[in-house]
Amino acid sequence: MDANSKDGHTAQPFAEWIQRYGNVYRIELPLLGARTVVTVEPHHIKAILATKFESFNKGTTFQDQMHSLLGQGVFNSDGDMWKFHRGITRPFFTKERISDFDIYDRNAERSLQIARTRIEEGHAIDFQDLVSRFTLDSATEFLFGQNVDSLSAGIAYPPSVSHKNSSFFTEHSSNRFTEAFRDAQRHADRRMPYGTAWPLVEFWEDKVVPLRKTIDEFIEPLMKEALRRREERITQGIKEADEDHSNVLSHLVNQTQDPSILKDELVNLLVAGRDTTASLLTFCVYVLTRHPEIETKLREEILTKVGPRQRPTYEMMREMRYVRAFLNEVLRLYPPVPNDIRNTGDSGVVLPGKNGTETPLYIAPNTNCIYSVLIMQRREDLWGPDALTFDPNRFLDERLHKYLTPNPFIFCPFNAGPRICLGQQFAYHEATFYLVRLLQQFRNFRLSPETRSPPAWWKNVKGLQSQEQIMPIAHLTMAVRDGLWIHMEEFKHEDS
């Protein structure tokens, strides 16, 4: 698997083993202390995430592997600590809060102006980097009440003209954070195949620890400012009940002042607020480089429902059915979290058989259960013979009822059940808003030669998209290896 993480397709080993052993199989690695079941069956995933939710947890092995990166944050906790984190964040994802689009608008316009300037210079842009900065600034402003202003650094020049990158850009704190965040996720992910024996691979040094230190240097000012404001409110005699908890962090520091818990939660929230939506938008634009006819249909709906210059409202978004279908289809083929894992803990679990007709599956105690949403959502028996074809209309025509409605838990881009992502609608709104602004201002999206192409052998990987022109990778979330370098042109309303 480690070799696969360097040049392989995301979920490639799972796809190949599924072709050999079926949609459910077991891996036994006694020397590594690992017992694992892999499944891409929707009724199993439904049980893991919803109907038998209480019987599964993150598992001590996963938590140990991820602790130096995620600590005790929401993505690496169970029980009371998980409930604590969920309780803190839940009030901030109401319809009223996530429908306030001022934050999106400010940061989207800044990012698109940066793109416009670079295009006028005649260079390709790394769209993945651009939207990662947009989502980082939007997330920190929405969640923490402080915009870290990563867009002020600008974006990198293509590798072929990297000498043009200024020292201001290369030394910017947001770049150090981004590089450390990426590398820490990569190192943590590489621990997975080694089970409980992973410390032997990093015998001399935990490779994530120095990277997490760099990440903490970036987020500590946010934490300290929130604590300072709390002390100021106390000095002024403002009671907690009278405070305006306008963001998650201001509420969190009233519940705990433990720096370790605070920093862990900031890191976890940045994974959710920055990486997942950046992944979605990156793959949206990748799809547009391959399907100009879809770009045309999207823009037609946007100009009809929103107009050439207006910003979208919540009501307008609800009316843009093709835009929503497009996002759903991107999430189907390129889910931000393509694979995930749960553990059965100290008790065995019985997973139901399909439609009550197949034999139930018993899973022994302390067994890791890996499920791949990416592979499940590309299965022809679940999605039809055109499962590997990108087509938003499958969410609008008869295929919706033929394939999707009987299996409502098949499509779970942000997970489902009790662990459903609280920011799911926030992510949909943010992605829709940015997509509208992008297509109002730019057109003719094309891959640049700077984008790394996959090796020819990828065409032989069954069960995955075989004609990719990019290299999807996944650690905690899915991304494009070495960036999505594109060209695009400014769109003028008279062009329509």
DSSP letters, 351-393, are: EPPGGGTSPPEEE-TT-EEEEEHHHHTT-HHHH-TTTTS--GG
Residues forming a β-bridge with 37: 26, 369
- Quick one: tokens of 275? 């990486």
Residue 49 counted as domain residue? yes
In a domain, 495, yes or no: no
Spell 447-473 as b/e; 16+ CB within 10 A means b. bbebbbebeeebeebebbbeebebbbb
Tell me, yes or no, whether 443 lies in a domain: yes
* Span of 23-37, 99-113, 188-202, 240-254 with lowest mean pLDDT: 240-254
412 is in an annotated binding site: no
Q: What is the share, in percent, of the chain residues with pLDDT greater than 90? A: 41
Q: Is the pLDDT of residue 2 over 80?
A: no
Query: Average per-residue pLDDT in the chain?
Result: 85
Mean pLDDT of 403-414: 51
Q: How far is CA 356 from CA 359, 379, 401, 421, in A?
A: 8, 21, 21, 29
Q: 2 lies in a domain? A: no
- What confidence tens digit (pLDDT) does each residue in 208-226 have? 999 999 999 999 999 999 8
Q: Exposed, middle or buried: residue 264 (CB in 10 Å: 0-12, 13-18, 19+)?
A: buried
**Position 347 in a domain:** yes
Number of domains, the chain? 1
What letter represents residue 458's amino acid? Answer: W
Mean pLDDT for 54-70 is 88
Is 4 domain-assigned?
Answer: no
pLDDT at 373: 87
Q: What's the pLDDT tens digit per position in 422-465?
A: 667 788 889 999 999 999 999 999 999 999 888 777 766 665 66
Q: What is the pTM of this model?
A: 0.90
User: Which amino acid is present at 465?
Assistant: Q
Which amino acid appears at position 365 of this protein? P
Angstrom CA distances, 123 to 154, 233, 261, 285, 445, stand at: 14, 49, 43, 17, 13
**pLDDT value, residue 408:** 44
Query: Could you list the residue range(s) of the whole structural domain that residue 319 is in?
Result: 11-490
At CA 267, angle to CA 264 and CA 270, rounded to 5? 150
Residues 77-92 pLDDT 10s: 888 887 877 777 766 6
Integer Cα distance of 399 and 152 in angstroms:
45
Q: Can you give the pLDDT at residue 410?
A: 44
On whether residue 3 sits in a domain, the answer given is no
Read off the pLDDT band of 496 (50, 70, 90).
low
Has residue 387 been placed in a domain?
Answer: yes
Highest mean pLDDT, choosing among 353-357, 447-451, 466-470: 447-451
Where b means 16+ CB within 10 Å and e means fewer, 72-102 reads bbbbbbbeeebebbeebbeebbeeeebeebe
Q: Is the pLDDT of residue 417 over 60?
A: no
Tens of pLDDT, residues 130-150: 999 999 999 899 888 888 999
Q: Order of strands across the sheet with 125-126?
A: 125-126, 485-490, 442-447
Residue 469 pLDDT: 87
CATH value at residue 80: 1.10.630.10
Check pLDDT > 60 for residue 93: yes
